[in-house]
Structure 1
Amino acid sequence: MYSCRLLLCGLLALGSSAHADVFTVGSGAACTHASIQDAITAGLANGTGLDVINVARNRSYTAQALVAQNDTLVIQGGFADCSSATGDPNNPTVLSGAGGAAAPVLRIQGSGNVTLRNLVLQGGDAPANADGGGLAIVDGPHQITLNNVQLASNHAGRGAGMAVTTGVSTISVTFQGDSRIYGNQASSDGGGIYCRSASLSLVTENLIINSNTSGRDGGGVYAENCGIDLASGHALGALWNNQAVRNGGGIYVFGAFGGTRIYSLFSDALTRL
């Protein structure tokens, strides 16, 4: 029910004329596609309107190197099968890059707004000179929303969990729900997140960025000319147990754009890094 309400709100925000094309991915006759990439491609072929892709967890998704571009898109998991009406946030669908190309699990490029919900992106293995192991967001403009999304055990040169890169400040990324970025390894900067010339809203009660490592700066977060709002209601804080070889084990920030704001979600509690 919770996922349905979120989707309904998104549709209403797009206006009364908004129409969503819904695709289902999984195993069984009720599914429109067996491949997530095929569903993404089908949605783009229908035009630039809203496309919703429901990804069932009744099959495995390995060797994923997905690309979404120039589309308004919702990719959401947690569905038991393709006949399920709602996704279970406690049982997200796992998308793994293991065994596939040396690339992010998901790359979002071009223009268009994208929402990810009830998903785990893991095992991405972008090359040492590339950005984004679990998720790479480039170009723009974009509004990217991650709701109950985990970015785990990914590798990349920069932004092993997630990389947000653009030449102009036209990308905004918002985290919601029980989102977590953990166990990612960057050979260069930004073990958890690498952000350049964008805006990040890391404000949600249960956000955790932990146990990420970088070979240079920013074990948890590396921010270059990146505006950041950071807050979490978790007892250990938003950032903990991240490590960098050089500077900023938790967070490394430099540049002018946007500033960095770190605060508590509760008036009587301290913010911990």
Structure 2
Amino acid sequence: MEISSQVWFVTGASRGLGRAFTEAALAAGHRVVGAARDVEPLEDLVTRHPDRLLALRLDVTDRTAVFDVVAQAVEHFGRLDVVVNNAGALFTGMVEEFSEAEARAQMDVNFFGALWVSQAVMPHLRAGGGGHVLQISSIGALGGFPSTGLYSASKFALEGMSEALAAEGAQFGVKVTIVQPGGYWTDLYTSSTATSPNPVYDPLRAELEKQWAEGSIDSEPKLAAEAVMTLVASDDPPLRLLLGSMVYDVAFDISRRRMDTWASWEEVSRAAEKAVPAPGTQVT
């Protein structure tokens, strides 16, 4: 083993972006713990890299299981260096259509799953003198879009938590990067779960289907993996990294429109604040 070899912990490692991240890390000579609900698709990689890939079954929504699997990973490889919170799910439907169970299920995977992993790995990263946590977010965290509102909500929550985690972990040498991918050819959409449709949204749904029917030009996951390898190799990684021209342009467009709106309402915003002494304080 080379001194530069790292130990990676990747959730959702058996498919899509998670599989690409796992393959890229192995190709670079690193050791990887590939965690997934179904690890069977990782068997070919385990066969090729029996000493450097440990496949562990994990449902990230089970907090106890997350802590147990992270402990197994550290016991097996001795430490953790890079943690990739990639496991995710997509529930589609208009906000009004979501049942409580569906809304909670969306948050359980995309937010709470990443939270449990972040909590479980931090003690080990601190003990090792640092590390790098990659939170795989989405273009959906840039704004809310029709039919993916709860997905966006889960990613907004992930990013808010991750900003705090970055500030908290910095004193221990732990770096955090929020990765915001655009379109990649994964099974996120084909494996998505849809709500029961409310007929009042049929016109909007038809318009969305028309837009989607025009076709999507997405990218190979290996390009995202190459970007992540560059990110991890950086001595000064950013808090946020956009992946793809489309998401890059969308991010700037949304940011400009928000700034324009804030500026146009500046007078109202500033008028809503005027510092006064605390209630009940006697001014002399």
Query: Normalising TM by the smaller chain, what interval?
Result: 0.3 to 0.5
Higher helix fraction: Structure 1 or Structure 2?
2
* Structure of larger gyration radius: 2
TM-score (norm 2): 0.33
TM-score (norm 1): 0.35
Higher strand fraction: Structure 1 or Structure 2?
1
Q: Higher relative contact order by CA 8 Å / sep ≥ 6: 1 or 2?
A: 2
